[in-house]
Structure 1
Amino acid sequence: MEAFAVEGLPEVREGDDLAALIEERVDLEDGDVLCVASTVVSKAEGRKADLDAFPASDRAVAIADRLESLTGEPKDPRFAQAVLEESEELLTEAPFLLAVTRFGHVTVNAGIDRSNVPGADLLLLPEEPTVSAERLSAALEVPVVVTDTSGRPFRYGQRGVAVGWHGLPAARDWRGEHDRDGRELGVTVQAVVDELAATANLVAGEGAGGTPAVVVRGWEFGDHGESDDLFRADEDDIVREALRGWEFGDG
């Protein structure tokens, strides 16, 4: 397996044909998986926004005031409002905003980006990343994973994760297969779209030198069970349930 960046992509703007821009710069082959950063998908889909588009509600003002008191740094209540509007639910309001996005991803600040957004204050995640992946996959005739970077509980640092995908299952389901000692596997489900996203992130890089599209070549799903579940269902998510009953500063 190899992974390589699609070089030479220009700054993507609203209305650009992202699939055509990629196709002009790489010869895709059968079996390739294309990983595309959500940032360029969002830019093509017109998801830039200014803070003035989010007049702050009383709740947003209260959230910003509390965060400012905790951090000693100014917090714009319009940003808190943007997070509220891009979220189905806030699991925590302090010491940071942990949001459930409308498509099921749980992430800080609803995944809203404030870097590399020329001409605007904010870049919102795609509204429906899997639909975005489906469009790109249909145009390019390869599986597509839309990626983002996200922090992880219990660890420092961020890594690439999948927020949308099409043309491949989200996971390999190993349940029912056997280990080397003949024991049947009962719980192992491998989130391959996340692993492909993390692979792509190693190649894509971050900051000013980042490249937003990566081809993974030579990877095979294999003869395994398939699952399209990635975002844990609310009723099965004991961490989410615990956070709902937790208040920062409870000790």
Structure 2
Amino acid sequence: MELFAVPDLPEIRPDDDLAALIRQRVDLRPDDVVCVASTVVSKAEGRSADLADFPAGPRAREIAATLEQATGETKDPRFAQAVLEESVEILIESPFLLTETRFGHVGVNAGIDRSNVPDGDLLLLPKRPAESAARLRSGLAVDRVIVTDTCGRPFRHGQRGVAIGWDGLAPGRDWRGETDRDGRELGVAVENVADELAAAANLIAGEGDGGTPVVVVRDFEWGDHDESDAHFREIETDFVRQAIRDWSFDA
């Protein structure tokens, strides 16, 4: 398969027709997978905000004070308030905030970005990334769209691209029931294709000021495999999350 960035996209503003801006700059094929960074989706959807929009309540002030004590750095309780309002659960509150967003993604600070935000202090993730992906897919007239973000991983250094919303494809390629080279049946292998494509796109898009937030994946083939709709783990089977709930940071 081939991956390439959509060139010369302008700074995205609220209510911009992101799909039209992409179509003007690239000849898309119906079977392309278009990976779009959540930053530009959020900008088009007016998800930038100012810290003043989040007056800090008692819980936010408590969290900010705890973080200051743990890190030795000044923390704005208004930022903690923004994280609280964008989250349904705080999994870790020191030495950093690890939260679950309202659409199921677990990440640091509810995925709120403080870089590349010309119109405010903060950039929030799209409210419903799956719906964002569906709108883009319709506007782009392609079969598959993935909304991507970058986040860290437990047990490893560095960030990588992940899928937070998608439309037109299942997130998982299910190998269960197939066999390995020795004829043994596979029992647990479900490949998270949405995340893999998002990570591949992130290699092209980059992390800094490159201005290439949209990447086209061409000639990707699903193959003769079943699909899986599983992506975000359910709490009942997420044993790491269950363990984190009982853990506390000891400075």
Do both share a fold (TM > 0.5)? yes
Tell me the amino acid that sits aligned with residue 246 of structure 2. G
- Does structure 2 retain, via aligned residues, the 8 Å contact 1:13–1:44? yes
Q: Distance in 1 between matches of 2:139 and 2:41?
A: 14
User: Does the alignment pair 1:151 with 2:152?
Assistant: yes
Q: Which residue identity does 1:236 align to in structure 2? A: T
Quick one: distance in 2 between partners of 1:151 and 1:210? 21
Tell me how far apart the structure 2 counterparts of residues 80 and 112 of structure 1 sit (CA, whole Å).
10
Q: Distance in 1 between matches of 2:224 and 2:176?
A: 13
Equivalence for 2:85: 85
SS in 1 for 2:162: strand
Structure 1 CA distance for aligned equivalents of residues 27 and 191 of structure 2: 29
Q: Is the 8 A contact 2:9 2:211 kept in 1?
A: no
Tell me what 2:244 maps to.
243
Kept in 2, the 8 Å contact 1:172–1:189? The answer is yes
CA–CA distance in structure 2, aligned partners of residues 28 and 168 of structure 1: 17
8 Å CA contact retained: 1:171, 1:189: yes
1:170 paired to 2:145: no
3-state SS of paired residue (2:209): helix
Extract unaligned runs of 5+ from structure 2: none
- Asked whether 1:27 is paired with 2:17, we answer no
Partner of 2:220: 219
Q: Partner residue of 1:108?
A: 108
The alpha-carbon deviation at position 159 of structure 1 amounts to 0.2
Q: Which runs of 5+ in 1 are unaligned?
A: none
Tell me, what secondary structure is at the counterpart of 1:13? coil
Separation (CA, whole Å) in 2 of partners of 1:199 and 1:8: 20
Kindly report which structure 2 residues correspond to 1:166-205, keeping only aligned pairs within 5 A, or say none.
166-205=167-206
Structure 1 residues 126-174: Cα deviation after superposition (integer angstroms, max 9, x where no partner): 0000000000011112210000001000000000000000011101000
Within the alignment, does 1:133 sit opposite 2:133 as a pair? yes
Q: Secondary structure at the match of 2:160?
A: strand
Code of the aligned partner of 2:107: T
User: 2:49 maps to what in 1?
Assistant: 49
- In structure 1, give the amino acid aligned to 2:238: D
CA distance in 1, matches of 2:101, 2:19: 25
Separation in structure 2 between the aligned mates of residue 144 and residue 44 of structure 1, nearest angstrom: 16
Cα distance between partner residues in 2 of 1:122 and 1:12: 15
Percent of paired sites with the same residue: 70
**Secondary structure of the residue that 2:147 maps to in structure 1?**
strand
Q: Is the 8 A contact 1:137 1:144 kept in 2?
A: yes
User: Shift in Å at residue 67 of structure 1?
Assistant: 0.8
Tell which deviates more after alignment, 132-141 or 241-250.
Answer: 241-250
Q: Is the 8 A contact 1:31 1:220 kept in 2?
A: no
The 1-side partners of 2:139 and 2:230 are apart by 24
Q: How many Å separate the matches in 2 of 1:147 and 1:138?
A: 18
Shift of 1:66: 1.1
Contact (CA 8 Å) 1:39, 1:123: kept in 2 or not? Answer: yes
Task: Indicate if the aligned counterparts of 2:32 and 2:219 stay in contact, CA closer than 8 A.
Answer: yes
The answer to whether the 8 A contact 2:99-2:109 is kept is yes
Q: How many angstroms does 1:73 deviate by?
A: 1.1
Distance (Å, rounded) in 2 between the aligned partners of 1:71 and 1:190: 37
Query: How many residues end up aligned between the 2 structures?
Result: 250
Partner deviation per Cα, 1:14-54 (whole Å, 9 max, x = no partner): 00000000000000013210000000000000000000111
Q: Measure how far apart 1:119 and its partner are.
A: 2.0
Taking the aligned partners of 1:77 and 1:194, their CA distance within structure 2 comes to 32
Query: Are the aligned partners of 2:149 and 2:163 in contact in 1 as well (CA < 8 Å)?
Result: yes
- How many Å separate the matches in 1 of 2:223 and 2:82? 42
Equivalent position amino acid for 2:179 in 1:
H
Alignment RMSD (CA, Å): 0.8
